[in-house]
Structure 1
Amino acid sequence: MEFCPTCANMLLYELPYMERPARFYCPTCPYVCQIDSKVKIKRHMRVAKKPIDPIFSDKDQMPLNKTSGVSCPQCNHGEASFIQRQIRSADEPMTILYTCAGCKHTWAEN
């Protein structure tokens, strides 16, 4: 996409006509930009990998609240700690992540 340097409108493409080459033109002012027939294509681009930072740190994931009304689906222990996270969009309810106090199994409840 190209923009007019005079009035900042988006330039439109005009097909070649007779001996005139293809060009970009501004619909509001007389600016015209000729298109060069030579295009330089870069085939090899180096992508730099950046280190990925965790979204939640270990301290953020530490469940602090205890509940006794939930049983673990793996070991059937009657006590678990929980933490609430907004995983989906804001209009969806929060997800409750439970961690069993006995076997440390983690499961989610929507």
Structure 2
Amino acid sequence: MYFCPTCSNLLLVQSDGAQQQLYCQTCPYIYPVVKTIVQRKTLDRKQVDDVLGGDDAWANVDQTEASCPRCEHDRAYYMQIQTRSADEPMTTFYKCCELKCGWQWKE
């Protein structure tokens, strides 16, 4: 895709017999195509945001009695976050208190 250097709109292809040109629909800009245009650009992906706050989110949370599904430890850290609409109940996220496990799950 090429954009107009004057107004920044997308340039369209117009065929005039044997010659092709890129033209702007908004302003009178025309770019004659004299050879094949091939240009590749790799897009950089955005970093995924951790909506739960990453490891820092678990720094100051409370503990409760909850059985870990992985190691059966009887205590877990927990936090509640409103992940759906306001009329839906909050989602409870758990993290196993056992340092060797650290399994995370939600209810």
Give the TM-score normalised by structure 2: 0.52
Q: Which amino acid aligns with 1:4?
A: C
Q: Which residue of 2 aligns with 1:71?
A: 67
**CA RMSD between the two structures:** 3.9
* The structure with more helix, counted as a fraction of residues: 2
The separation in 2 between residues aligned to 1:2 and 1:99, in whole angstroms, is: 53
Does residue 1:25 correspond to 2:23, yes or no? Answer: yes
Unaligned runs of 5+ in 2: 43-49
Indicate if the aligned counterparts of 1:63 and 1:82 stay in contact, CA closer than 8 A. Answer: no
Give the TM-score normalised by structure 1: 0.51
* The structure with more strand, counted as a fraction of residues: 2
Aligned residues: 93
Does residue 1:94 correspond to 2:91, yes or no? Answer: yes
Unaligned runs of 5+ in 1: 46-53
Question: 1:22: Cα distance to partner?
Answer: 0.8
Greater alpha carbon shift after TM alignment, 91-100 vs 26-35: 91-100
* Bigger-Rg structure (1/2): 1
Question: 1:66: Cα distance to partner?
Answer: 2.1
Q: Percent same amino acid at aligned positions?
A: 25
